[in-house]
Structure 1
Amino acid sequence: MASGTLLYAQSGGVTAVINASASAVITEARARKIKVLAARNGILGALREDLIDTSKESAAAIRALAHTPGGAFGSCRVKLKSLEADRAKYERLLAVLKAHDVRYFLYNGGNDSADTAWKVSQLAQAFDYPLTCIGVPKTVDNDLAVTDTCPGFGSAAKYTAVSVREAALDVAAMAETSTKVFVYEAMGRHAGWLAAAAGLAGQSPDDAPHIILFPERAYDETQFLAQVKKVVDRVGWCVVVASEGIQHADGRFVADAGGGKDSFGHTQLGGVASYLAGRVKDQLGLKVHWTLPDYLQRSARHIASKTDWEQAQAVGKAAVQFALKGQNAVMPVIVRTSDAPFRWKIEAAPLSKVANHEKKFPPGFIRKDGYGITDKARTYLQPLIRGEAYPPYGTDGLPKYVALKNVAVKKKLPAWEG
């Protein structure tokens, strides 16, 4: 029987199904008689020795996690630097791991989280501490390398496609005497996967979205406005989906929010829809409405993709299995084996091939005119939003989500002053 404790933590922006991965991790570990601690608010919780004893939660509560959005144990945007630059933090982390006999570290997050998990594995090796580190994939941006898709993306993509289709029906109904243009802002800093998913809402050139703006293509205002006018003249109205990360030809973000940078070094974005709406109104004189779904895109558990939900649980379960086999510094990734019928499997990929590698939206997935998706993109995207995984609903008409007790483990070390 394996010995030692498993420490699980979540990082970065949460998703509609990240707790499904957490549920699978805890359930699989319990089946293997492995104790699971969770770090409150990601790597910060580990450094602060702010750990949660998941054994205090009932089996029913852990099962309910699988249909609950948000991050049950909190999250953080903190990226550790190199061992040399952040030595004090690493030594503190190692002390916490030793104090609680942690032999397995599972970090559920995106690109920067994969980098952290990889660095922690190097830390353990440098100090000759027996620790197996596993990265668990998650991100609505779908920009992790190696894996076919990222758990969290499929549900956000489904929400986006459904929202755009429904809003388009509204715009079409009002276009004769009211709104002519509707602008929808999708998440996606450098990769246009989520904006592209909106393309699933329509089938023909006259179906919404009529224009998709990708961060992989430089934003040209003159061409954009001409395209909007062309669509309105032809169809009578126009739906635009814009990635928050679209940039001018010189690399400046169209929607730099002016909020500085977070601890990952990312510029705060937001507002591209309102900006574009203003330009359309001022330059074309058309009535415009716009929306910024923001957190709604990643928290919409009520309309989660069944494919996404199943994959989120699969990577969580596999992460524990890999850890107990001693497969250090790897990530369970999704490998697509067939498009029709859609089939996939889980394999282990080295964290070194995932960390700090960004998967952009392929050029072959963007229509020649630059404003839509190709059939190849549709073939890739469509299975990821397939199926429904509705949460249970209460008599009040609202989803029944779970709130864990999150009982803290007694601290064994002095308070962290970092």
Structure 2
Amino acid sequence: MPGKLLYAQSGGVTAVINTSAAAVIATARAHGVRAYAARNGILGVLREDLIDTGKESAAALRDLAHTPGGAFGSCRYKLKTPEADPAAYARLIEVMAAHDVRYFLYNGGNDSADTALKISAYAKRSGHELICVGVPKTVDNDLAVTDTSPGFGSVAKYTALSVLEASIDVASMAESSTKVFILEVMGRHAGWIAAAAGLAGQGPDDAPHLILFPEIAFDEAAFLARVKATVERVGWCTVVASEGLKNAAGQFLAEAGGRDAFGHAQLGGVAPVLAQRVREKLGYKYHWALPDYLQRSARHIASATDAAQAAAVGRAAVEYALAGHNGVIPVIVRGSDAPYRWKIAPAPLAKVANHEKKLPRGYITRDGYGITAQARKYLAPLIHGEAYPPYDTTGLPRYVKLKNAAVPRKLAAWAQP
């Protein structure tokens, strides 16, 4: 089927989302297919704000593969159903038809898979020939079907490394200074990133001493008793807390009151809440940290496994699209743990869209504060290897800023409701 390929990025970016983007564009070029990108995700399609990736050099694409952020801009925009917002779907097809787009690749998580699925179904009804394929990514590792989500391995590596290094620091100061260090990590409903912190230690007295998972209801009295016992035994205590930590009533400990575009609660920081409890009840000096965007933008310490998988799903997405596989998404299938082997296979978007993969209870120790051997076996291969970016004479990584040349518009401006 002739026509162009349109690629878009969605939701929170990862350290390796541009690795997927570079693979998508390079694979399209290898097949002689012209590739466009939407500026700021699905909003770029609605606004007819498209980018001609053909204006980028091969060298720029190579640098794109190791550049963090979302090179074409991302967005948090919840596309309603065609029945609730028919004008938006009509506009999407109008823009794609005007630019002869026949392949649409949406790089994102659960909501993005749902969006790609909706557009695929609508295009069939509209009569416009369009192949829609998802490209998986999410730091939260909560995508269904796939063994892991591209983006997670690098966050896992960054988190484990941060816990290891910070804990060495805390240990050196504990005699007369900081006794408790609290690191807050991403993970609204699934504790995958929190679990990855457990890779920093091997023994019972190694940090992190307590991991607070969103899957386990927070018990303040038990938490404080555990912190106190750890400080008395080890001399200090490192705590890793998921941002999605909830109390027994199911309330977020740090809900700030707002909602994002997808209807998710805006969380205001669980680490300072916990730190205050430690200070008030135990009197220990503390420090806390909130890496936030640093977790997902840390391309300088990306996992080689993660980078390889991000590139693989990008290539596969183009191959599936050109082969006419509509409504699918490439997923990672684990062959074995040791040695770690994996492959890419197609899965129906319908099995991924809006399905959330939680951390199995078997990955959390019985006391609720650590990871099991089973979790370690699953997590460890995902952080293996280093995919360092090249460094230049400034001592900083050589990251690229693309031209992002605009494709001339052909339609009237979109009247956004």
Scaled by the length of structure 1, what TM-score is found? 0.99
- Pairwise CA distance, 1:17: 0.2
| Alignment deviations for residues 247-298 of structure 1 (CA, whole Å, 9 cap, x no partner) | 111111011123x111111111131011100110111000010000000000
SS class of match (2:284): coil
SS class of match (2:15): coil
Which of the residues 336, 343, 348 maps onto 1:345? 343
RMSD: 0.6
- Pairwise CA distance, 1:377: 0.2
| Superposition map of 1:5-404 within 5 A | 5-258=4-257, 260-404=258-402
Count of residue pairs brought into register by the alignment: 416
Counterpart in the other structure of 1:408: 406
| Alignment deviations for residues 153-198 of structure 1 (CA, whole Å, 9 cap, x no partner) | 0000000000000000000000000000000000000000001000
- Structure 1 stretches (4+) deviating beyond 3 angstroms? none
The letter for the 2-side match of 1:266 is: H
Structure 1 CA distance for aligned equivalents of residues 231 and 94 of structure 2: 63
SS class of match (2:94): helix
The letter for the 1-side match of 2:65 is: A
SS class of match (2:141): coil
SS class of match (2:295): helix
| Alignment deviations for residues 311-367 of structure 1 (CA, whole Å, 9 cap, x no partner) | 000000000000001110000000000101000000000000000100000000000
Structure 1 CA distance for aligned equivalents of residues 65 and 191 of structure 2: 28
- Pairwise CA distance, 1:63: 1.1
SS class of match (2:205): coil
Structure 2 CA distance for aligned equivalents of residues 199 and 49 of structure 1: 45
Identity across matched positions, percent: 72
The letter for the 2-side match of 1:406 is: N
Structure 2 CA distance for aligned equivalents of residues 46 and 174 of structure 1: 53
Structure 2 CA distance for aligned equivalents of residues 397 and 278 of structure 1: 39
Q: Which runs of 5+ in 1 are unaligned?
A: none
| Alignment deviations for residues 189-223 of structure 1 (CA, whole Å, 9 cap, x no partner) | 00000010000000011000000000001111111
